[in-house]
Structure formats: C-alpha cells, structure tokens
Amino acid sequence: MKLLRWGEKGREKPGLLDASGKIRDLSGVVDDIDGSAVTAEGLAKLAGVNASSLPEVPAGTRLGPCVGNVGKFICIGLNYADHAAESNLPVPTEPVVFSKATSCIVGPNDDIEIPRNSEKTDWEVELGFVIGKEAKYVSEDEALDYVAGYCVVNDVSERAFQAERGGQWVKGKSHDTFGPVGPWLVTKDEVADPQNLGLWLEVDGHRYQDGTTKTMIFPVKEIVAYLSQFMSLQPGDLITTGTPPGVGMGIKPEAVYLRAGQRVRLGVEGLGEQDCKTIQA
C-alpha cells in the first residue's frame, strides 16, 4: 500500500493511493496515518479495505507528510563513504546518530524556508523508514520485521549552523520546513530490497545527486538493530538513513547552496517524488 496524508497543514486526513493513481480518503476507516495505523494490526485493517469504495480526493489537493504525530525523528549521518569523503570526514566505524526536531516536518511539496542569516542551506535526498512495532535490543536478522514502510526524506541542512556554531548537529538540521517527508509511505511488502533503490535530487533542473542505497555503509537492518541497543523505537518513529554524494557543500571547486526562489526536486525509486520551492524565512 501507498499511504499518505492530505489536506491543509495541521489538519491533514489519512488517505491512500489506489492502483490507478487516485488518492482515496481513509478518514472513515482510521483517524490518521500515525503510530497506531502502522502497526501490523493497523496495516492489516487498511489492507482489507476496498480502495475503490473510498471517496476520491480531488486532484491537486495538498499532500502532507506521510506519517503524523512522529515521536522521534532520528537520522544517520555520513552513511555513504563517498559522501563522507566529500564532507572531508572519516568513514564512520559505527552509525553516526543525530536527531531533527519533529517541528521541521512538512509535506513533500511544501516550501522550504531559507533561515535568516543563512548562507549555507544544503540539500540531502535520503531513504526514510517508519517503525511499525516497538523495537528494543533486536537483532539484525529480525530488524526488518520492525519496519512498517519506506518514504522519501529531504534532510535539509544549514551547514554553518551545523558545523560552525559549536555543539551538536541538531540546530543545523531542525529549522522549520527542513524535513519534507513523503509523498507516501510505501509498506514494506512493496519494497523488495531497501538496499537496491536509486535516489536522486535536482535543483533548478540540474541533477546534483544520483545514487543508490546499495552503497550505504550501514543498511536499514543494521540501523534498526543498532539504534535499538540505545533507545526503544516506537511505532510511528521516523528514521532517515543518510545521503549519497552530491550535496552542495561538496561541489568543487566551490560549494553551491540554496537560495530563495529555487526549485528542488528529488525522489527515491518506487517511493515517489518531492517538488519544493525555496522561500526566505
């Protein structure tokens, strides 16, 4: 299934994408696409719904982030060796873990704000996934059993705030709109291998990123198992897995960063595309 949330910001309703590409309203079935809906029981209930019997949502309706009420937004940094190299940082021997504020989460086609006093706002296309049942001290062999589905994430980052202002990365990662998520949450039964997906990103039609999840240092199953050793993961938690090379700060001979008035398009194979404009905060 391809699950989604639609409607005005802050008042999104649950929905799904049917086989013909039409958005159907699930609000008569569940309250939201959130932690309770993405459990095994919740997904089984949704899988039993006849999509053609659901009301059709008008074309052009805004899409919100594909999962609501996110408890934790956890990120893995430097998870592609060639991205670590372009960042002039060593290849990690364990996953680099940081978080983004959940208040940064927006829909896949919402505007991205360039923060005030920002000169280094950057892009990062990533494979994201959503947890479907509580994970604590799980093994790699069973780790994918705890994943509900996969989605597209843009881990927008202000590099000066991230690396030049002291402290941890979170303040360079958490400005409002720095977490476009979706368009939809694709349940894991439709993703044969999360480590074999192409992902790409363009700014104003120029392709900067064109990679594959094959080259991740730490695959999804290892990320789930690793994180579960340090914290429990709950249904609805959102985890994003790092970006391939081609981010703005890695462009040679001179870095390229986002400015207001640009268009950012990105996608992950089988998981849909995002199309955002940049505006000044």
Task: Supply the CATH number for residue 257's domain.
Answer: 3.90.850.10
Neighbours of 204 (CB within 10 A): 11
The yes-or-no verdict on residue 233 having pLDDT over 90 is: yes
Decide if 251 is inside a domain.
yes
Average pLDDT of the residues in 147-159 = 98
Is this prediction's pTM over 0.95? yes
The answer to whether position 4 is within a domain reads: no
> Please, what is the average pLDDT of the chain?
96
pLDDT for the residue 83? 81
Tell me the percentage of the chain whose pLDDT exceeds 90.
Answer: 94
Q: What secondary structure does DSSP assign to 9-57, as a single string?
A: TT--EEEEE-TTS-EEE-TTT-S-SSTTTTSHHHHHHHHTS-GGGSPBP
Structure confidence at residue 158 (pLDDT): 98
Question: Looking at the domain assignment, is residue 29 inside a domain?
Answer: no
Find the domain containing 163 and state its range.
63-280
pLDDT tens per residue across span 34-80: 999 999 999 999 999 999 999 999 999 999 999 999 999 999 998 99
Q: How far is the C-alpha of 52 from the C-alpha of 43, rounded, in Å?
A: 17
State the total domains in the chain.
1
Q: Give a yes or no: residue 276 inside a domain.
A: yes
Nearest to 104 by CA among 34, 155, 152, 61: 155
Tokens for 119, please give them: 């000169």
* pLDDT of 263 strictly over 90: yes
Specify if 224 maps to a domain. Answer: yes
pLDDT for 174: 98
Query: What is the reported pLDDT for 84?
Result: 79
Residue 96 has pLDDT above 90, yes or no: yes
Q: What is the pLDDT of residue 166?
A: 87
Our measurement of the distance from residue 49's CA atom to the centroid of its chain's CA atoms, rounded to an integer in Å, reads 26
Contacts of 167 (CB under 8 A, 6+ apart): none
Tell me the mean pLDDT in the region 80-108: 90
Contact 187, 37 (CB under 8 A): no
Rounded distance, CA 183 to CA 273, Å?
7
Residue 165 within any structural domain of the chain: yes
Range 9-36 average pLDDT: 97
Per DSSP, 126 falls in state E
Burial class (CB in 10 A: 0-12, 13-18, 19+), 254: exposed
pLDDT digits (tens, 9 = 90+) for 129-147: 999 999 999 999 999 999 9
Whether 162 maps to a domain, the answer reads yes
CB 113 within 8 A of CB 104: no
The answer to whether position 159 is within a domain reads yes
Task: For residue range 75-85, list pLDDT tens digits in order.
Answer: 999 899 878 78
Q: For residue range 173-205, what is the model confidence (pLDDT) as tens digits?
A: 999 999 999 999 999 999 999 999 999 999 999
More confident residue, 90 or 23: 23
